[in-house]
Structure 1
Amino acid sequence: MFIMRKVNVWCLLFVPLFSILVSPAFSQAEPEVLTLERAMELALQNNIDLKRAQNNVIAAVSNKRQAVMNFLPNLNGSIGYTVSNGTNFDNNSGQFVTTTFEQSSPTLSSNMNLFSAFYNHHLLHRRENELESSVYALRYSELIVRANVLLRFLNVSLDRENIKNSERRLELLQSQLEREEKRESVGVASLENVYNFRSQVANQKLTLVGLENQYKSDFLALIQTLQLNDPENYVLQDIEVQVSAEDTQVEPFQQVMAEVLENSYNVKSSFYTMQAAKNALKVSRTSYYPSVGIGAGIGTRYSTNNDGELFSQYKTFTNNYYGFQISVPIFNNFLVKNQVAQAKVGMFNAELNYKQAILDITNRIQRDYLDLVSSITSYESALENFEAQEQTFNFVQTRFDTGATDFYTYLESLNNKNNAEITLINAKYSIAFRNKILDLFRGMSSTTE
């Protein structure tokens, strides 16, 4: 009996606790609200291309450090220990003897290049250019990540606004349907209007499903841009976009383009890559010239065949040397000539890449600038059109409610109002986000404010 009581008590305690643990409210964490600033932060943390660019900077720093170290002399030390067992000639006795002896010969040497047609200088300049190029390439990668997040965020935000507009339209149509059904039931409205509204409600539900699917697709694209795993763990923050008079004022294209070219990370990266290629050509040409180097060293030896202890022999048999060496290239199977030719091709390609970088950024800014100007023009016209269509719809709705106009006139006015609202929303969001994108490329702002 006592055991049964304990079991019942544990069941009473465990079952409610288990129900709480497995409930959806407890087991599922709240989705994270994804703000534009947070999206930028996640994209910069997770982007693989950005991490690769960071690794390239680390490698460039290491290469530059090595180029500086090339100006210093090297220092090498060696020591060996050998045990020999066999027949050898003994210098002391003048006879062949069979014995076992030990020997070692430590050495310390240093060499330094005095002249190599400024090879080290050209190599250092090349590594410095490569480092500058990699740093600007990293900054450009960050900029592209920010620009891509802005574009993805724009698409998702527009999708949400279109869904809200579609839901408002559906709600209005459903309320009108209910009203017409009541009027038809008491004989003051025609059954035709009821059927028409039912058709429009069904059609609007289908449109809403399509908009929701588009939102899911664009939101997934945003999550993939951030390189996250599960879209279900995130929800998008509501953004209220307000367009001020300053937002609709845009500088002349030539001024914008000049600022972009002055601050373009990609153009600067390509420029320093081109400079590095020029120095690489100079490096390859140094192999045509002779080189001069000096060297010095010190060494000693020890053997059990000699009299004396280890350190005593080391002291006795110490010797040193110094000298210089001149190396003159005479014939190397046209290896240097081929290396110079390859370096020239690399330089020409780097020059073309520099020109291509200028062309690419020019084409992109032309598109972004045109999109911004078009959005501003559309916004000004859309704002005026929406106000007019809203007034017209309110008037037509009043006439329809009193039976002074037909269903088709009402539906046409509603469609005109909804289309005007969609155009206005698209223009507002496009102005806000494309201004941010242009500011990024102009170097005016790297924030999301």
Structure 2
Amino acid sequence: MKKIAIPFFFLILSISLSAQTKQWTLQECVNHALENNISVKQSELDYEATELAKKDAIGNFLPTLNGSASNSWNTGLTQNVTTGVLQSQTTRNSSYNLTAGITIFNGLKNIRESQQADIAKLAAQYNLDKMKDDISLLVANSYLQILLNKANLEVAKSQNIVTLEQLKRTNDLVDAGVLPRGDLLEIKATDASEKQKITVTENAVKISLISLAQLLLIKDYEHFDIVDKGYEIIQNDITKKPVEEIIEAAQNNRAEVKIAEENAAIAMKDLQLARSNYYPSLSGFVNYNTRESDAPRILQGGIDPDQPSQPIGIVEATGDVVVAPNYALLSTSALPYTEQLYLNDGISYGLQLNVPIFNGLSVRNNVKRSKINLKRTEYQLEQAKLDLESNVYQAYVDAQGAEKAYESAVVALESQELAYQYAKDRYDVGLTNAFDFSQSKLRFDNAKIEENRTKFEYIFKLKVLELYFGVPASELKF
């Protein structure tokens, strides 16, 4: 039993450790989101629906074939379906019908619907591409927020280590009577403030991790973590390019304008479809039908011996009665099922022409509605181009501003680090008090946090600008 339990224990332990140490890279997060995100799945379903619409449009060119069958029982005075004679009877009758039809001309509706289905499919693909780009950027932004929070937590912890060292040294100097007790209290207050900041930053890290996990539809929050090393600013010249070049690239590559263009094209096809109703339509059909019944047949037998003849008229000139032989009617069983189907079948075929003459102005009004909708989509296309141009300008200015802010933050950090080191050296030799030292340290901490913030903001702004320039979200480098 022990031999089995020990390997089993280590197996469970290894599984638990592997679950705890799983760290996701940014690319893994993006790929996972694109495969599992609900919004992406909905866009994929929309695309699949357009494929079915295209198949429907193709099917409109094909002939139709439909069959029907019925079987009924009648009791009382009913007509014999095979002889046409009214009889008081209980009968079973069945009929079968097969009809084929084809549209010959319907105002080019079939062609317009097929063209519209192609456009709708392309628009759905652009919507899917845009959704993937949006989700990729959202994941990247959430990921960078975690990196920022972790970097700030690392700063807070490392600076608190320095504070704890100063606290120990100050406590020794106070005990030796070299420094006043007020310096020790100041350092303790700094330590308490830093520990509070560490707690707040740790919570920020957890919350940002949970937010990303929820975005990825991962429920195991406790064991979810990311790779937090190796994400630096990759220098490129995109901010040095003329903004007009980026705008032109965005108009050629971004899905926003393409979606608006396809929507306008769909509206044009709607207008053409509405106008198709002005034209007559022509269709052809072929119908085959047959029937059978279990009712007895009424046949003509020999001359009735009781009444061998019967009057059928009178000669007007002479008044003589005209008679004819009176044959007796015989009742016999119904013909076999297959024989009845063969004898009672028939075929009909022809053409059907429908000419619209007056239909309550519905066609005319639908054409007007389609014209209004077309105009609306043209305005939306124009607005999409203006919005894209505005967004590119905004992203361009944001990226340049983020670059300058980061460069300034780096310079400020270097200066604050030198000032902090100078204050630390003066405090170590007793030339400055604990309050001044704490203030210098606080400014250095804030400068480091600001450097982290501007760094990751700059990274994100660069990626947004690269997306507008035409770099696919899956190929963005961090």
- Equivalent in 48, 56, 67 of residue 77 of structure 1: 67
- Equivalent in 315, 330, 336 of residue 363 of structure 2: 336
Q: Superposition pairs for residues 363-402 of structure 1, below 5 Å?
A: 363-402=390-429
Distance 1:112 1:408 in 2: 94
CA 1:219–1:244: 2 relative to 1, 3 Å: closer
Aligned to 1:49: 39
Aligned to 2:262: 272
- Equivalent in 20, 24, 34 of residue 30 of structure 1: 20
1:259 aligns with 2:287: no
Contact 2:123 2:259 in 1 (8 A): yes
Aligned to 2:128: 138
- Equivalent in 358, 364, 375 of residue 348 of structure 1: 375
Contact 1:241 1:432 in 2 (8 A): no
- Structure 1 or 2: more helix by fraction: 1
Q: Which runs of 5+ in 1 are unaligned?
A: 1-9
| CA-to-aligned-CA distance 1:23-51 (integer Å, 9 cap, x gap) | 99987952632321222133223322211
CA 1:263–1:92: 2 relative to 1, 3 Å: closer
The aligned amino acid for 1:180 is T
Q: Superposition pairs for residues 204-353 of structure 1, below 5 Å?
A: 204-246=194-236, 250-304=240-294, 305=296, 308-353=335-380
The alignment's C-alpha RMSD in Å is 3.1
The aligned amino acid for 1:65 is K
| CA-to-aligned-CA distance 1:174-231 (integer Å, 9 cap, x gap) | 2111111101111222222212211211222222223233333333322232233342
Q: CA deviation at 1:74?
A: 1.0
The aligned amino acid for 2:131 is S
Distance 2:274 2:219 in 1: 48
Aligned to 1:121: 111
Contact 1:44 1:142 in 2 (8 A): yes
Distance 2:374 2:434 in 1: 72
Aligned to 1:404: 431
Normalising by the residue count of structure 2, what TM-score does the alignment of the two structures yield? 0.81
Contact 1:36 1:448 in 2 (8 A): no
- Equivalent in 79, 82, 100 of residue 110 of structure 1: 100
The aligned amino acid for 1:366 is Y
Q: Which stretch has the larger CA shift, 310-319 or 292-301?
A: 310-319
Distance 1:184 1:175 in 2: 14
Q: Which stretch has the larger CA shift, 35-44 or 361-370?
A: 361-370
Aligned to 1:447: 475
Distance 2:69 2:252 in 1: 58
Q: Is the partner of 2:259 in helix, strand or coil?
A: helix
Q: CA deviation at 1:425?
A: 2.1
Contact 1:108 1:297 in 2 (8 A): yes
Distance 1:248 1:128 in 2: 36
Distance 2:50 2:423 in 1: 70
Q: Which stretch has the larger CA shift, 50-59 or 92-101?
A: 92-101
Aligned to 1:4: none
Distance 1:231 1:416 in 2: 34
CA 1:283–1:170: 2 relative to 1, 3 Å: same
The aligned amino acid for 1:447 is E
CA 1:93–1:116: 2 relative to 1, 3 Å: closer
Kindly name which structure, 1 or 2, has the bigger radius of gyration based on alpha carbons: 2
Normalising by the residue count of structure 1, what TM-score does the alignment of the two structures yield? 0.86
CA 1:248–1:136: 2 relative to 1, 3 Å: closer
- Equivalent in 177, 180, 194 of residue 184 of structure 2: 194
- Equivalent in 132, 140, 154 of residue 144 of structure 2: 154
| CA-to-aligned-CA distance 1:281-329 (integer Å, 9 cap, x gap) | 2111211222122222222333344564333333333322221121112
Distance 2:289 2:232 in 1: 82
